[in-house]
Amino acid sequence: MTRDSVHHALPTATVGETLAVMGDVFVPNIAKGVIVRRPKAVSMAEKLGLDQRAIRRLQQLNEKYGPGPLMLNTPDSRPMALILDPDHANRVLNETPEPFATAEWAKRKALEHFEPDMALVSHGPERAERRRFNEQVLQSECPVHGLGARFAKVVEEEACELLDHVDRHDGKLDWDMFDSAWSRVVRRVVLGDTARDDRGLSDMLTKLRSAANWAFFHPGHDHLRDTFHERLCTYLKRGEAGSLAGEISRMPLNEDTKPEHQVPQYLFAFDPAGMATLRALALLAAHPTHADRAQDEIAGNDLERAPTLDYLRACVLESLRLWPTTPMVLRQTTEETKWENGVMPAETSILMLAPYFHRDDRHLDDANRFDPDLWLQPGEAGNWPMIPFSGGTGICPGRRVVLLVTSHMLARLLKGREYQLNPPTRLLSSKPMPPLLNNYDLEFKSKAY
Ligand code: HEM
């Protein structure tokens, strides 16, 4: 049957199944915080194994309804669909932004709180201009950004200060210690050295992101948003050399570009990169054979020259595959779309749940194991959607800068040192990796050798 020959509606979940999807997929993800994480909710979700329930729920629907897409039983004014089939996921990602727009309505409502003109929630010529800008600033197709050596230096300096701190605390490394150093790296990379200690700017953004977690249920902080943008613009005007702000000062702009609405995304999206880095360190601490391979890579490279560190990048990608920091990838149809099984109405919100694909033990050998080689031999997973950075034409343009900075942070933390998780039983290589790893209560014992 061809797509064009089908005119009937897609299969639709029952009311009970729709409520179960709300309870198992949407509620836990919203509770954990879509725009900024709520540590207590993350801890609760880890203890209750909620991420596993979400995967299981979608697998059951897939077994009952086949490939879908599956419409949820929502009011006609707010149609929603689940993508259950790998080929459908690839289609949606490749046919972005028409007819599958990134500017999905719930995402728009959330990001309106602090970056209403960001590329992700824009459409048409405005999105095209903002996407061009982000791709150029972030050099999205270059494995190593032109400022790579400079970023590697920033990471080295901050990691060195962090490790001094660790040694003064009997070798203890925890989330708060790591996060302080990571935030300094992020401000320096994005805005320049003068922003290094501007915790006030990061705090303002966190407050705006907390409001964004509530999307349309929060009235917003208009005054705070203006103050934040004013302060951000002082850094953008300064355009410090050696930072992304410096790159921006040399970019062609037009009235649609709105750099001050793109850069908050750069700042906030580095947060999950920090989570992925500490989780990758936990994975390596729990898998000595992989830690040895990481040490070999570190020893075989001159870190000052910003090498690609493929193995450490693969470890970060595995951390993101096992525990994706953007679990819900959303699109919205701009017109009626035809599928093998029926027609999807225009204005439908589409959900691709990353963990459903990443951890599909029905199709992927070792879906629940730590296996960096999955990323080093990309043929292995074939056309299977691995979407920690989304994919296709809307893929995260910051992914390579993220992999550069995170792999160098791991290299600097690991060089000449060993790590043990506290307690060591937190992750065991002999067991499947847990559905969620709470980054906020990770703790390590580390010593130089
Ligand atoms: C671990 C860290 C990160 C992850 C997992 C991540 C993931 C993603 C994902 C999944 C999307 C697409 C969202 C969607 O389609 O709804 C996205 C978009 C985007 N990301 Fe990232 N990101 C990360 C860090 C960064 C950083 C550090 C930057 C900038 C320095 C960045 C810049 C962007 C931009 C500009 C977009 C919008 C792309 C567009 O719609 O054209 N990201 N990211």
Neighbours of 211 (CB within 10 A): 21
CB 343 within 8 A of CB 8: yes
Query: Residue 347 in 3-state DSSP?
Result: coil
Look up residue 3 and give its amino acid: R
Give the atom of ligand 1 at the shortest distance from the alpha carbon of 388. 5
- Measured by CA distance, the residue closest to atom 4 of ligand 1 is 389
Neighbouring residues of 237: CB distance < 8 A, sequence distance ≥ 6: none
Query: Ligand 1: which of 386, 396, 402 to mutate, judged by most atoms within 8 Å of the beta carbon?
Result: 396
Give the atom of ligand 1 at the shortest distance from the alpha carbon of 324. 5
Walk along the chain (449 residues) and give the pLDDT tens digit of each residue.
Answer: 444 445 688 999 999 999 999 999 988 888 888 777 888 888 888 888 888 999 999 999 999 999 989 999 998 889 999 999 999 999 999 999 999 999 999 889 888 888 899 999 999 999 999 999 999 999 999 999 999 999 999 999 999 999 999 999 999 999 999 999 999 999 999 999 999 999 999 999 998 888 877 766 677 778 888 999 999 999 999 999 999 999 999 999 999 999 999 999 999 999 999 999 999 999 999 999 999 999 999 999 999 999 999 999 999 999 999 999 999 999 999 999 999 999 999 999 999 999 999 999 988 888 999 999 999 986 656 678 999 999 999 999 999 999 999 999 999 999 999 999 999 888 999 999 999 999 999 999 999 98
pLDDT the model gives residue 345: 96
- Measured by CA distance, the residue closest to atom 43 of ligand 1 is 396
**CA 293 to ligand 1 centroid distance, Å:** 29
- Measured by CA distance, the residue closest to atom 14 of ligand 1 is 329
- Ligand 1 pocket check for 326: Cβ under 6 Å: yes
- Ligand 1 pocket check for 120: Cβ under 6 Å: yes
pLDDT the model gives residue 283: 98
pLDDT the model gives residue 382: 65
pLDDT the model gives residue 378: 64
- Measured by CA distance, the residue closest to atom 31 of ligand 1 is 398
- Ligand 1 pocket check for 259: Cβ under 6 Å: no
**CA 390 to ligand 1 centroid distance, Å:** 8
pLDDT the model gives residue 55: 96
pLDDT the model gives residue 5: 44
- Ligand 1 pocket check for 389: Cβ under 6 Å: yes
Q: 439 forms bridges with which residues in the sheet?
A: none
- Measured by CA distance, the residue closest to atom 29 of ligand 1 is 266
Name all domains of the chain by residue range, CATH numbers in brackets. Answer: 3-448 (1.10.630.10)
